[in-house]
Structure 1
Amino acid sequence: MNNSNAKLTQGIDWPIVGLYMALVIIGLLSIFAAEYRDGDNVWQNIIHLEKNYARQLMWLGVSAVLATGIWLTDSKFFTATANLVYALGILLLLLVLAVGTGVKGSHSWLGVGMFRFQPAELTKICANLALAKYLSSTETNFTKLRSRLIAAAIALVPAAIIILQNETGLALVYFSFFLVMYREGLPGVLLVIAFSGIVLVLSALLVDKYILLGIFTVIALLVIYFSRREIKRRKSRLLLIVGIWAFCAAFVVFIVPYAFTKVLKDYQVKRIEVMLGKENDPKATYNTRQSMIAIGSGGFWGKGYLKGTQTRYDFVPEQSTDFIFCTIGEDFGFFGAMVFLGIYVALLFRIIHVAERQRSTFTRVYAYGVASIIFFHLAINIAMTIGLAPVIGIPLPLVSYGGSSLMGFTILIFIMLRLDADRQMVLR
């Protein structure tokens, strides 16, 4: 019996399992803290699934069954079916457009009997598997533009469909796959260009466009002056400088204003303006203000578990889901929040360690995809709750309430553990 148990758990990376369980337990306790009120009958709520913490406990049970099933599956199954799973994921997303239901402004849910789930949470796994399959193929030469475009399409096609479902926040997470591509050889200059584009957009929103135009002109003239010898030898250098100047000028004068008036919806513009401190409407700024008040009121040590006033009196909306970090910040303070974030950091570093010890390109790419997805969710959610990013509905991995999210991250992580376990058994 002991030998069979040893074989069953052989090769599992226990540090990742431990960190996974720690985050799940913290999530359950935080959801309970966000919803519990004096006089609640806890056991009755659990039996009848009347509260989110009771439903999350049920989803944890479902996730445990899924994790066990994944662990008992041959890892070759995931490599063999990666493209098929991706195709099914795309079909699910398209099905949502046809028969999906709306929840709080987004049209991204499918109903199965009494249950609802969000395919966008699960298709991250599909895209990760398909990207790993493609990049590990012997026919893929990732130094070629064609291969890079195909890899980008694998990530961006589901993101485009999710945007049509009015779920922009989850669509942004699919850009995390570009970090994976960077690890596999995507030129760093493309990431620099992407970061520069973000800085350019923020600059256009914060600074008068004519002042920016003047700044760009001065910078261009200085570059031309200090590069004059090189320009004499290569006239193309001057054309490059002028071209970059013209693009930046057109971007801040025409493209950004057009996008904010013709492309983005009013509520999206308001959320961005709230982040930048340019929106004074109390209704528009309410979520962010209450979130920061809750976190700030915790001080260094926190008010204590179940003692947060912002939580207990329902000042912060969506506190079991998008703003679950507020509960942790208020109850356990700065110290507790740092310990909590330290668990995420430890998980990310451990996943990267697992990725780097792989001999299989498929497993390495997949593991980096897991780390990138978790990192994006964590960074955007925390930035959102402290006012550094727009409120876009990104759950905190394994902690925020939500069956689709919990199951999605469980499947994501345990497929990686299964793939890694087979590597270890081969080495033995």
Structure 2
Amino acid sequence: MNRRSQTKLTQGIDWPIFGLYFALVFIGLMAIFAAEYREGDNIMQNILHLQKNYARQLMWFGVSIVLASIIWLTDSKFFTAMGNLAYAFGIILLLLVLAIGKDVKGSHSWLTIGGFQFQPAELTKLCANLALAKYLSSLETDFNKLRSRLIAAAIVLIPAAIIILQDETGLALVYFSFFLVMYREGLPGILLVIAFSGIVLVLSALLVDKNILFIIFTAITALVVYFMRREIKRKRSRLAMILGVWLFCSAFVMFVVPFIFTKVLKDYQVRRIEVMLGKENDPKATYNTRQSMIAIGSGGLFGKGYLKGTQTRFDFVPEQSTDFIFCTIGEDFGFVGSVIFIGIFLALLLRIIFVAERQRSTFSRVYAYGVASIIFFHLSINICMTIGLAPVIGIPLPLVSYGGSSLMTFTMLIFIMLRLDADRQMVLR
């Protein structure tokens, strides 16, 4: 291949994202290796016979590179055209899981094809992102109208609902990250404030006695009425609004939250939330989180050194190559290494946002923001899980945790975005 052909092949690629992608995959392979390697292991034999997770992850990385190459050689118009078809395909896969899926570690969300297992819930994130980008970029879509907002919400909530039926609540929650994309496209900020307020109310109801909360809400309402008495005299509707908020908050913490935690959520889900809040004293229920924090804390400032982590080498932390992969990084490389690692992810997120804002088409911009939102959600929840700030809900660390479905999905998400960005001179709505 001559130099002109090579230049044409790589023309338009965003090299910072390309480099950050490979850096994170490499870190993931090294971390999985550190989590599984034991003295005396025959590394080459493990790789050739796929006997260890790091060997299988290396294989999945090879498959991901093939997929990335195919995507890079595909015309970007293909992705704008296939949004609805991809979404329908994803929904069919999710429904197929309900019919013939297999249980793995308490989750009925896996399909087995040719001896390989994969989670359609991972792939459907890509499908939903394409469908949402296609809908919001349609000339017929006026996102200022309630109908358009409801349709956009349905696009992301329908797969989430099906995934919840598969007992895979963690991945279902990822789909709520798409509301950040909708906010960028004009969704009122008050809706995000309301959603955040709802989270605060739930946490308050779990941490504080409901009768005390009722007294607090009543006192705050009385103070608001007192200080706004002049405005209330001029406009009586203000009083009705204030009392409505008081009634809603009181009913929510006294009746709605208890109903959800006793009738809707399953016992293991409630226990995970109680572990996060420090209300669960059962050593078995808190074991994963405690061992995870011990591993990270034992790394100190600079870490114990690569392949020298005792928590890792003696298998104290379960699922250390998947959900708790960050423990390995924290123990081996310490606080400094963890900060650098998180900094690489933040650099990737900021670069994706930069790429999103320079797009000429609505489709490409929405899609890129979807990629950033998904990665941000996975990153924040996974790390918070490992340090006890979020319940353990099985969210992998993008490009780093072991898992073929996850690695291939994030590879396709990123390289479709790179392909769209490379062709941004072609103005598409």
* TM-score interval, normalised by the smaller of the two chains: over 0.9
Which residue of structure 2 aligns with residue 86 of structure 1?
87
Which residue of structure 1 aligns with residue 416 of structure 2?
415
Which residue of structure 1 aligns with residue 47 of structure 2?
46
Which residue of structure 2 aligns with residue 135 of structure 1?
136
Give the C-alpha shift of residue 227 in structure 1.
Answer: 1.1
Give the C-alpha shift of residue 170 in structure 1.
Answer: 0.3
- Secondary structure in 1 aligned to 2:318? coil
Uncovered stretches (5+) of structure 1, i.e. residues with no partner: none
AA matched with 1:128? N
AA matched with 1:63? S
Give the Cα–Cα distance (whole angstroms) in 2 for the partners of residues 131 and 232 of structure 1.
46
AA matched with 1:127? A
Give the Cα–Cα distance (whole angstroms) in 1 for the partners of residues 313 and 106 of structure 2.
26
Give the Cα–Cα distance (whole angstroms) in 2 for the partners of residues 16 and 174 of structure 1.
23
Q: Conserved in 1, the CA contact under 8 Å of 2:360 and 2:425?
A: no
TM-score (normalised: structure 2): 0.99
Which residue of structure 1 aligns with residue 357 of structure 2?
356
Confirm or deny that 1:21 pairs with 2:25.
no
Which residue of structure 2 aligns with residue 276 of structure 1?
277
Which residue of structure 2 aligns with residue 383 of structure 1?
384
Q: Conserved in 2, the CA contact under 8 Å of 1:10 and 1:425?
A: no
Give the C-alpha shift of residue 425 in structure 1.
Answer: 7.6
Give the C-alpha shift of residue 80 in structure 1.
Answer: 0.7
Give the Cα–Cα distance (whole angstroms) in 2 for the partners of residues 425 and 252 of structure 1.
52
Uncovered stretches (5+) of structure 2, i.e. residues with no partner: none
Q: Report how many aligned residue pairs link the two structures.
A: 427
Matches within 5 A, 1:148-227: 148-227=149-228
Confirm or deny that 1:258 pairs with 2:259.
yes
| 1:200-250 superposed Cα distances (whole Å, 9 cap, x missing partner) | 000000000000000000111111111111111211111111111011111
Give every structure 1 segment of 4 or more consecutive aligned residues whose post-TM-superposition deviation is greater than 6 Å. Answer: none
| 1:185-204 superposed Cα distances (whole Å, 9 cap, x missing partner) | 00000000000000000000
Which residue of structure 1 aligns with residue 326 of structure 2?
325
AA matched with 2:407? L
Which residue of structure 2 aligns with residue 229 of structure 1?
230
Which residue of structure 1 aligns with residue 113 of structure 2?
112
Q: Conserved in 1, the CA contact under 8 Å of 2:94 and 2:121?
A: yes
Q: Conserved in 2, the CA contact under 8 Å of 1:27 and 1:399?
A: yes
AA matched with 1:38? E
Q: Conserved in 2, the CA contact under 8 Å of 1:11 and 1:425?
A: no
- Secondary structure in 1 aligned to 2:193? helix
Which residue of structure 2 aligns with residue 369 of structure 1?
370
AA matched with 2:349? L
CA RMSD of aligned residues (A): 1.0
Give the Cα–Cα distance (whole angstroms) in 2 for the partners of residues 237 and 253 of structure 1.
24
Which residue of structure 2 aligns with residue 3 of structure 1?
4
Confirm or deny that 1:70 pairs with 2:77.
no
- Secondary structure in 2 aligned to 1:211? helix
Identity %: 82
Give the Cα–Cα distance (whole angstroms) in 2 for the partners of residues 332 and 220 of structure 1.
50
AA matched with 2:257? V
Give the C-alpha shift of residue 36 in structure 1.
Answer: 0.2
Give the Cα–Cα distance (whole angstroms) in 1 for the partners of residues 114 and 68 of structure 2.
23
TM-score (normalised: structure 1): 0.99
Which residue of structure 2 aligns with residue 342 of structure 1?
343
AA matched with 2:156? A
